[in-house]
Structures are given as structure tokens and as C-alpha cells.
Structure 1
Amino acid sequence: KGPKTPDGREIIFYKIIDYILHGKEEIKVIPTPPADHWTLVSGLPTYVAENGFICNMLNAPADEYFTFQKGPVDETGWVIKNVLSLPIVNKKEEIVGVATFYNRKDGKPFDEHDEHITETLTQFLGWSLLNTDTYEKMNKLENRKDIAQEMLMSQTKATADEIKSILKFKEKLNIDVIEDCEEKQLITILKEDL
């Protein structure tokens, strides 16, 4: 249907985390971003997700392959100058996201050192995503186990006649009908007989 990762999964950007360090520090989370959002419209995040390459654009507006916005992207007048984009890969070597950095704070283009630092950062991001997925899977398995145990318990509950044949409640409690016994009394008798 749409673009795919190297392992064949469809690329869907379901969340953008916009960390702004321009003037003041600000974090914006954009769930289900539109395809025309300025971070996606260039095509760079899709390209990185498709190919798994690190892309370091020294002069983004002059690039002919990707279509970066030439003018300001918002009302602050902020303009894209240089871009560093790399895949977020989990321990299974699957691409689970894309991290894109815009405009180094000192105004210089991103260099090899920046690539190394951001690659290390994205490794941790990928591993933490895998840990979150693993935690969710473990919770689901735990819930399934609890449901299975409850189903098994409801099917293996002893009937009143079965309890009468096992426990000697008439002799020990001097009660004729088992329904008149309290659960604690029956447990005490069971423990004595074991």
C-alpha cells in the first residue's frame, strides 16, 4: 500500500514529538499528525524509515531530493537550515521510529560527532520502546493467565455432595446441612484431615 521499512512493515507516523530548544525549551506531542505537517512534508522521515540510512543535510533548503520548507515554518520565523535524521532501531534490528534534528544550536551544520551522539541516543530510544512493548506483552499474558485460572477454578469447583463425601462436617460441627457451615469451618476441617 504505502512505503515500507526494510523488513516489509508499512510506515505510519502516528506521533510527532516536537522538542523545541529555540529561545525557551518546549515539548509538543502531536498525535496522528497530518501528512502535510512540516516535519513530514519533506519526505526525509519516510526515506530514513524506508532505507535505514542516517541523513545529514548540510544545507537543507538547497537540497533537490527532499522538499524542505524554504521560508519560516511557524510564526516565530524559525527556518530550517540543516537537518540530521536517523532511524530508531530496537534490539530486534527493526526500525520503530525516526529521530530528526534541525539546526544545531551554534548554527553550524551537524558533524560526525553529532551523528555519533544522536545514533547512541536513538539506540537507547529503540531499546526503551522494545522494553515498553515487552512490558505490555507481559501484562497481557498475565491477564490471560488470570482469566484461564478463573475459568479452570469455576470448572473444578466441588459440588455440595462432593464436599459432604470428603468432609466429616456432621460429626465435627454437629450441623446437618452443609449450606449452614461457614467456609472457615470447612477449611479448618479440611486442614485437620490433611
Structure 2
Amino acid sequence: LLAVLLVSVTMVPAVAAYSEAKVYEDALGSVEIVRETASARESYVTVPHKGDSDQKFFVKEWKDEVDGREVWRINVFEVDSRGAVANTPILRDSYYWNDSTGLHIHFGTYDMDNLITPGVFLAIEGLGAALAVILGLATLPALALATAIAGALIFGAWYYKNLDGSLDMYFSTLTLALIPVYLAMPGSQPIVVRLGSHDVPVLI
């Protein structure tokens, strides 16, 4: 069951270059890596809907330096039914890095404004696509996690945000290890996500 739920339990970034596209697929959506080097990666992520109206996103990542730290910046673009990638990204000023303690994600002011607006499901699905790539989750579990996080932000963003409107999110190594275990269990399960400086239980 875990093999179905997870595309991979390893975290990015990748350090090797690949000359051919790789596709990881299961019944819960797909992540198709179309370009990958030591400093950049481009992927198509399919977020499953009920029926035949799956939504596709284009996720673009590249290495950058912020405050002396090497990070991965990330943009998420909507892809229409004809396969055309939108000119303007849904998520555009966020970045992440990982270390021995876990995964750190910084959501910029623009992205936070999108994510904390009730009813903006496209931005939440875009976050799900980003998490599918960043965390290595299959897209449906990643979307469930994104929905839970967005729900927490909508009701408590004023409490968790930085003064400039951005937000820092942190998943500990233990939390990352437990995500596939909880997703395999029946019903909603709580995980602890640090939003700003506060540890917040989020149901997935």
C-alpha cells in the first residue's frame, strides 16, 4: 500500500543530471520529470479530480542563494487542457531547503495571499503539486496535505505569518517519515507542522 501512496520517500534536490524524462505514475496521479540537472528541475504534475477533469501543473525549480543559504526556488504554473503552460505562475516567490533536521519551506507574500483566500482551490492544488515534488508524495496524498495546510492558514494566518506577510513552514525528519504511515491508516490522522514559530497539528 505504501508503494501506491508514495512516489518516493526521499527528499529533493537531486544531485545527478539525467538526459531522459522520467515518469513516476500510479492510480493517484503522476509526477513527470522532464528536465533535471544539479541546479534545476522541471516537472509536470497531474492532480486527480473526480471524473476525467484532472488538472495538470508545470513545476519549475532552480538553485539560488538567500541570506547566504543555498535554497531551491519554486514556481508552479497552470497547464490548460491543450497542454499550454500559463505565462504567470500561481506560486512564484517561495523557496525551500532541507538539512539534517528536516524540510524548510518559505512562502513569499504573493503566494501567501493566494493560499489564505478561501475558495481559491487552484492555488491549493498548485501547492499540492509543489508538495508532490518537494516531499516525493503521490499527488493525491500531497493534495490532501496541501488542503489541510491551507485550511490551517485560512483560519490562523494572522497568527503564523511573518511581519511582511510571508510564512515559514517546517517539517521535521520524524514528521516526514510518518507521513506515509499516517496516509496508509484509515481516517484522518494528525501530523505536526511548524508554521512560523508554532507547532500546529494538521489533519491529513
Superposition TM-score, scaled by structure 2 size: 0.26
Higher Rg of the two aligned structures: 1
Larger RCO, structures 1/2 (Cα 8 Å, 6+ apart): 2
In terms of fraction of residues, the more helix-rich structure is 1
Superposition TM-score, scaled by structure 1 size: 0.27
